[in-house]
Structure 1
């Protein structure tokens, strides 16, 4: 009988509305507002429409030929999440109880925990307390008066493509109704009860930058072996090319593209950042949506690394391929959001 009563009360508790609601809002940078100016009317037009009527930011000296305005707009929707960027959102727990004349209906012991489920693993997330204007951080606690809220911020670097699920669990202690107080049997818990709920938010992480690579062999360099003898050493050389395509919806600026070589290779960039006595400036390429740029690196075997030379000989003897290195890419979005991507170990073609 007691077992049946516990099951029934548990079911009724799930149907009862919670005193605390949860709101999840993604944090992202704003974008510049667009304005669509009207064409300048001619003096012979019977109906002359002022140019300022079509501007989002009217001023005394408007630039009616420029589509971007000084106004900033918030994203109208969740937007796209890209691999290599940081996913940030705020979790807001609100006390939905009505205020009482006796100062009751205070929700205590409010705790928020979150984890993100990626295609391969589940990662618990660290929560940081949000800084709210006109609120002293020392006064932010786990007790919420009616109409107050507790905000936490989570951040996670997206490293996998596919479906992601943000799971948020809220636990709190609320005052009991008079009927519930009479049913309390445990000492020290009269007048309160602990409640919890869990919500899931699903989103898809898309590929922002597509990387396609290929390698080519160069004639080896014949040098002295460095031991004072007449033996010559043949140092292998490769050229690694990579095509980078912007798969996103907004432009990005490539800040850094580096090939981290594996011993015994040395990498030399053949791109915009290579030393040049003619051009001192550095013009990082900007990729619009679906734009493609190509980068290249020269890899040369270095002498004096016996351990690396031995590993290279084993790789070439085993399958005729050499492990060259890993490609590391960093970029920024139009409003300054950072993104980074690292490839796996890149190999040469089979000999």
Structure 2
């Protein structure tokens, strides 16, 4: 009885072929032109017009009307769907029984994934001479690594008058590349609001269309997209095309979600960025980043922010503004407000006054008054806040805000 080890690949009764399925490309015309007064005259222009790939009345710009078959295997990019056509052909003159096909995709990190299960995806088949068994494999690639497509064909043939089970195995290797390069920057405000700047660069071999770029925020945050105008139009224009090696900046604002309970962790998951893009011929790819994390920052225990402040004030006329104090620590504070003298402004109020206990994770709004003594752009400073329990200054700021001071014009009698 013949065994599998007795057979070489060329001795098998069946052949196995794998064809990668890919989209054709637009055939660009080969443009060589010159001024009619030059030595070639109208020769180059005539040649361009006679080229079959040239668009009539548009000989120098625009895509062609004709498709060009791929001259080489196009790169596979992460998030795209890998498609291939597998053909098992009976090249012998005898009937082959119980032909089954098993297809697996193997990577170093993810291991083996079965794409075609014998008896489930394809039922055992009997192949007459010159008959074929066809199967199309489609799989969304999710790993930047060398991929091995392992194809195994099992069948029963008559060898030396005896029914013998045989196995034909072959594998095909292809690489998966990264289509987009992503760089992120984080800006954290004192109000716990986080701004994310995502710079996306097209590193494929041609232009792509970014069909959708979105930030899927974690439940602790509420996301605001800052990539459109007040009319709802995209800031990138109506033509959504990103040329090769070009970049775009997407901006998002994340504010703490008041519905979710606050956490005391220094680093919090912000969510994931999702990309849906299409190649030049419309092939779709999908990407999802790993979790983005809020950078660890040493935030002060007491935070101060300006709530209300007029833009214009007048010299020698008092004006009022409001500040909000937030106790971000885990302990209560006994706070006292101290006001230092300013050269171009004068405080109205008592320095050193106490305003009670501010509990942990609580806030209070305080009204303050100033009298401007000089014109021009003036800086509000000189605010000192001390905690009586720790006897330390928990807030000092000499550049809190700015107001513009004008001289009021006298009214006509």
Q: TM-score range by the shorter chain?
A: 0.7 to 0.9
Whether 1:157 and 2:144 are equivalent positions in the alignment is no
Report the structure number with the largest CA radius of gyration: 2
Between Structure 1 and Structure 2, the one with more helix by share is 1
Corresponding position of 2:89: 94
Runs (5+) with no aligned partner, structure 2: 298-413
2:177 corresponds to: 206
Q: How does 1:74-153 map to 2 (within 5 A)?
A: 74-98=69-93, 105-120=94-109, 121-126=111-116, 142-153=125-136
Paired residues of 2:196 and 2:253 also in contact (CA < 8 A) = yes
CA-to-aligned-CA distance 1:284-331 (integer Å, 9 cap, x gap) = 64222211111110000121322xx2xx32x22xxxx22211111111
1:328 and 2:317 matched: no
Task: Give the whole-Å Cα distance in 1 for the aligned partners of 2:9 and 2:66.
Answer: 45
Deviation at 1:114, TM superposition (A): 0.6
* Greater relative contact order (Cα < 8 A, sep 6+): 1
CA RMSD for the aligned pairs? 2.8
**Mapping for residues 306-321 of structure 1, pairs under 5 Å:** 306=261, 309=262, 312-313=263-264, 315-316=265-266, 321=267
- Structure 2 CA distance for aligned equivalents of residues 304 and 9 of structure 1: 69
Q: Distance in 2 between matches of 1:151 and 1:114?
A: 12
Deviations 1:119-177 (A, max 9, x none): 2121111479xxxxxxxxxxx9822222222110111111111211110001122333x
Unaligned runs of 5+ in 1: 1-5, 99-104, 129-139, 185-191, 221-235
The equivalent residue for 1:17 is: 11
Output the TM-score relative to the length of structure 1.
Answer: 0.74
- Assess, with a 3 A threshold, how the Cα gap between structure 1 residues 243 and 16 changes in structure 2: closer, same or farther: closer
Q: CA deviation at 1:207?
A: 0.5
CA 1:152–1:241 in 2, change beyond 3 Å: closer, same or farther?
A: same
Q: 1:330 to 1:48 in 2, by over 3 A?
A: closer
State the secondary structure of the residue aligned to 1:51: helix
Work out whether residues 101 and 116 of structure 2, in 8 Å CA contact, stay in contact via their aligned partners in 1.
Answer: no
Whole-angstrom CA distance in 2 between matches of 1:45 and 1:303: 74
Aligned-pair CA distance for 1:71: 1.1
Q: Distance in 2 between matches of 1:171 and 1:47?
A: 64
- More strand by proportion, 1 or 2? 2
Residues in 2 aligned to 1:84 and 1:193: alpha-carbon distance in whole angstroms: 42
Equivalent-residue separation in structure 1 for 2:239 and 2:103 (angstroms): 38
* Aligned partners of 1:325 and 1:345 also within 8 Å: yes
Aligned with 1:287: secondary structure?
coil
Structure 1 counterpart of 2:219: 263
Count how many residue pairs are aligned between Structure 1 and Structure 2: 289
Check the 8 A contact 1:20/1:93 in 2, yes or no.
Answer: yes
- How do residues 1-351 of structure 1 correspond to structure 2 at under 5 angstroms? 10-14=4-8, 17-39=11-33, 42=36, 48=43, 50-51=46-47, 55-57=51-53, 61=56, 63-66=58-61, 68-98=63-93, 105-120=94-109, 121-126=111-116, 142-176=125-159, 180-181=160-161, 184=162, 192-220=163-191, 236-271=192-227, 274=228, 276-277=230-231, 279=233, 283=238, 285-306=240-261, 309=262, 312-313=263-264, 315-316=265-266, 321-351=267-297
Secondary structure at the residue paired with 1:28?
coil
Match of 2:407 in 1: none
Partner of 1:226: none
